[in-house]
Amino acid sequence: MAWLVVVHRLPERTRLRSPVLRKTPAACTRLADALAAVPGVREVRIRPYTGSALIVHEAGVALDALTEVACGALDGARLLAHGEPPPLSAAVPAFSSVRQKLAALARELDRDIRRSSDGSVDLGTLATLGLVGAGAAQVATSGELPMPPWFNLAWWAYRTFMTTHNGAPPAPPP
C-alpha cells in the first residue's frame, strides 16, 4: 500500500515523503505536475533518491490542499499521521540476488564435481574433507590440539541435541 508522510512544514516550505517516489519515475512526474498546479505553489523539487518532494509555496497555502493533491497523484496513497509508523508490507521479499547467484554457483560446482567423479564425491564431501585436512595440518604444524572456542562447543551441543532428539521420546524397552 502506498503511503505519504509530511516530513516538515514551515510557513513557505513543505516536505513530503513516499517510498513510491523511489520506485516509480512516472509517479515523480505526476506528483510534480499535480503539486505545481496548486495555486500559490512556486516550486516543486522531487528527489527520487530519498523519495521526497520539497514544495516551496506562499505562506497561505493549506497543508490539506497539498496532501490531498499529493495523495491523488500517488494513486490514492494514505496520508500517515504525525509519528505514525509506515505500514509494513505483508509480502516477504524473495532471497537476495547475491544469495541466489551464490546458490546457483554452488549447485553448478557440485554438479560438475559429481559428474567428473562419476558420483563418488560431491561438494559437501570435499568441503568436509578440506576442513578436516586443514585442522589436521594445524595440529601437525603446531604440535598441540587447541580447545575449540565456546561458541563452537555451544553450536555442536545444540546441533547434536537437535539431530538426536527429533521430538519423539524413545520407546521404552519391552
Average pLDDT, the chain: 88
Q: Report how many domains make up the chain.
A: 2
φ, ψ of residue 163 in degrees (nearest 5): -80, -25
Residues pairing with 57 in the sheet: 41
Give the number of other Cβ atoms within 10 Å of residue 113's Cβ. Answer: 17
Structural contact between residues 70 and 4, judged by C-beta atoms closer than 8 angstroms: yes
Does residue 119 share a domain with residue 61?
no
Task: Per-residue pLDDT tens, the chain, 174 aa: give them.
Answer: 789 999 999 999 999 999 999 988 999 999 999 999 999 999 999 999 999 999 999 999 999 999 999 999 998 889 998 888 888 777 766 777 888 888 889 999 999 999 999 989 999 899 999 999 999 999 999 999 888 899 999 998 888 888 776 655 556 666
Could you tell me the CATH number of the domain that includes residue 56? 3.30.70.100
Is residue 161, in this structure, part of any structural domain at all?
A: no
Q: Could you tell me the residue range of the domain that residue 46 belongs to?
A: 3-79
Helix (H) or strand (E) holding 25: helix 25-36
Residues pairing with 44 in the sheet: 55
Structural contact between residues 29 and 73, judged by C-beta atoms closer than 8 angstroms: no
Cell reading at 82? 504525525
Is residue 164, in this structure, part of any structural domain at all?
A: no
